């Protein structure tokens, strides 16, 4: 994350000051509470983001959380394009981190759509109906993997 080095350093300090444990997951700095993922810092071409794993459960009183795509059910991001934005929002970011920790302590879960609630596009639906081998392989996949395929096919 060379491009977002200053932003990453600032976000890292906020996370550590909030009492989170630092780890490195999926090639990104990840911050946990009692082994549970709370936030992840990641850089993209146009912005750096602090991703809240259960961001959909946060109140977002400042209206700064962004749903990365329409298919992301749980995670939400705060995006930055310059270090000054992190500095200006530092106290708000910290408040959101503390709220995310409380969500985790309470054991709250994001209610996600079941695989059966996702549309199966016509062509794939026909294949499943005609080919029992494909159907059994598809049904043996984890629900998350099934959703991924259904989203990809659609």
Tens-digit pLDDT profile for residues 24-53: 998 999 999 999 999 999 999 999 999 999
Check: CB of residue 47 under 8 Å from CB of residue 81: yes
List, in sequence order, every residue forming a beta bridge with 78; answer none if it has no partner. 50
C-alpha distances in angstroms, 152 versus 125, 136, 149? 14, 19, 5
Given a cut of 70, whether residue 1 has pLDDT beyond it is: no
| CA dihedral (143, 146, 147, 148) positive or negative | positive
Check: CB of residue 41 under 8 Å from CB of residue 50: yes
Tens-digit pLDDT profile for residues 114-129: 777 778 888 998 999 9
Which domains, and CATH codes, for the chain? 2-105 (3.90.1150.200), 115-153 (no CATH)
Given a cut of 90, whether residue 79 has pLDDT beyond it is: yes
pTM of the entire predicted model:
0.80
């Amino acid at each position: 994350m060379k491009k977002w080095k200053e932003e990453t350093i600032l976000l890292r300090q906020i996370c550590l000051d909030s009492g989170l444990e630092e780890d490195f997951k999926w090639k990104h700095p990840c911050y946990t509470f009692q082994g549970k993922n709370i936030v992840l810092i990641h850089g993209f071409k146009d912005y750096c983001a602090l991703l809240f794993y259960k961001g959909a459960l946060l109140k977002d009183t400042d209206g700064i959380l962004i749903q990365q795509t329409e298919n992301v059910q749980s995670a939400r991001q705060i995006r930055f394009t310059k270090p000054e934005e992190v500095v200006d929002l530092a106290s708000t970011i910290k408040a959101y981190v503390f709220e995310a920790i409380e969500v985790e302590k309470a054991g709250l879960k994001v209610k996600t759509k079941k695989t059966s609630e996702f549309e199966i596009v016509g062509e794939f639906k026909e294949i499943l109906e005609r080919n029992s081998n494909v159907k059994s392989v598809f049904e043996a996949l984890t629900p998350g993997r099934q959703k991924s395929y259904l989203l990809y096919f659609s």
